[in-house]
């Protein structure tokens, strides 16, 4: 998925200017969107090509394979609910070690909102006097969850909420059902793809599909065979909606849904 478009434009502009701030705060959007945007930004920072990120140079390639040791992701440790002061102290010490192969070392703090005050104050020290070859990217649902002193040190990138209107969802739902009856299962999977990262949108899409099933079943136009299939799909979707709330793997959920629907058709 391509991260938030306006944020990308901002990142390109900043990187092109050659004046890369020492610290960024990416706020808004979903956790996945913030992480993707941060990865894109980190890649642009370490890129050695012309139009950054060029996707061609050594740094871009190792970033794409998730093996760039100069891009360091920091999150909560297993079983912990906060990012501790100890973790930030380790990060601070590490920040003074030169990058491995890139010009810069980038630290991405994935849940900056989970740093307690002590950890934030420890981070503040290094944000105030950062080593020249280091960039920090803090990710948070909102800047209001961070200390004002931290926020004031950061270049802020706000991810806009890309709202898919109910109308658009209805059209998507209709498209998916049409694809099913046209036996275009691969296209169905592709149509579900954008919803993998957004559970609430996926649930809305499923509910739209159910509404559509009901309206066709109630109308006199469809054959009994088609009505039967739609009522099976309606029932099956209840199960998927329940699964969404249970945090299941979304790509897996959509592919099993497509398989199941396909069995009804054939
Ligand atoms: Zn590159």
Q: Are 157 and 26 in contact (CB under 8 A)?
A: yes
Cα 58 to ligand 1 centroid, rounded to whole Å: 7
Pairing verdict, β 134-140 and 71-74: unpaired
Residues 113 and 109: their CA atoms lie apart, in Å, by 9
136 C-alpha vs ligand 1 centroid, how far in Å? 19
- Mean pLDDT value of segment 233-258: 93
Alpha carbon of 48 to ligand 1 centroid (Å)? 5
For the stretch 87-133, pLDDT in tens is 999 999 999 999 999 999 999 999 999 999 999 999 999 999 999 99
C-alpha 45 – ligand 1 centre gap (Å): 9
Distance 12 CA to ligand 1 centre (A): 13
Rounded to the nearest whole angstrom, what is the distance from the C-alpha of residue 43 to the centroid of ligand 1?
A: 7
Region of poorest pLDDT, from 27-31, 106-110, 178-182, 202-206: 27-31
* 168 pLDDT higher than 90: no
Measured in angstroms, how far is the CA atom of residue 157 from the centroid of ligand 1?
22
Please tell me the predicted confidence (pLDDT) of residue 79: 84
Give the distance (Å) from ligand 1 centre to CA of residue 51.
Answer: 8
237-240 long-range contacts (CB < 8 A, ≥24 apart) are 237/206, 237/207, 237/209, 237/210, 237/213, 238/210, 240/206
Mean pLDDT of 190-202: 89
> How sure is the predictor about 219, in pLDDT bands with cuts at 50, 70 and 90?
confident
User: Is a pLDDT exceeding 80 seen at residue 162?
Assistant: no
Instruction: Tell me how far the alpha carbon of residue 251 lies from the centroid of ligand 1, in angstroms.
Output: 29
Q: How far is the CA of 232 from the centre of ligand 1 (A)?
A: 49
Q: What is the mean pLDDT of residues 130-153?
A: 94
The confidence score (pLDDT) of residue 4 equals 63
What pLDDT, in 10s, does the model give residues 34-82?
999 999 999 999 999 999 999 999 999 999 999 999 999 999 998 889 9
Q: What is the mean pLDDT of the chain?
A: 91
Predicted local distance difference test score (pLDDT) of residue 165: 75
């Amino acid at each position: 998925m391509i991260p938030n478009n306006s944020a990308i434009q901002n990142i390109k502009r900043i990187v092109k200017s050659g004046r890369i701030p020492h610290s960024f705060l990416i706020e808004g959007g979903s956790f996945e969107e913030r992480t993707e945007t941060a990865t894109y930004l980190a890649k642009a920072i370490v890129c050695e090509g012309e139009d950054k990120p060029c996707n061609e140079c050594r740094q871009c390639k190792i970033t794409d394979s998730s093996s760039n040791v100069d891009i360091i992701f920091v999150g909560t440790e297993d079983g912990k609910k906060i990012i501790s002061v100890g973790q930030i102290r380790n990060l601070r010490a590490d920040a003074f070690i030169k990058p491995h192969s890139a010009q810069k070392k980038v630290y991405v703090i994935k849940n900056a909102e989970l740093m307690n005050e002590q950890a934030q104050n420890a981070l503040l020290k290094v944000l105030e006097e950062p080593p020249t070859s280091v960039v920090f990217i803090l990710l948070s649902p909102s800047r209001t969850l961070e200390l004002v002193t931290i926020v004031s040190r950061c270049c802020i990138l706000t991810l806009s909420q890309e709202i898919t209107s109910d109308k658009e969802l209805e059209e998507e739902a209709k498209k998916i059902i049409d694809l099913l009856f046209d036996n275009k299962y691969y296209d169905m999977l592709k149509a579900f793809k954008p919803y993998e990262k957004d559970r609430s949108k996926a649930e809305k899409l499923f509910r739209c599909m159910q509404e559509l099933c009901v309206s066709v079943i109630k109308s006199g136009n469809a054959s009994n065979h088609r009505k039967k299939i739609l009522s099976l799909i309606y029932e099956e979707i209840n199960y998927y909606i329940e699964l969404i709330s249970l945090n299941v793997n979304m790509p897996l959920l959509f592919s099993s849904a497509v398989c199941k629907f396909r069995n009804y058709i054939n």
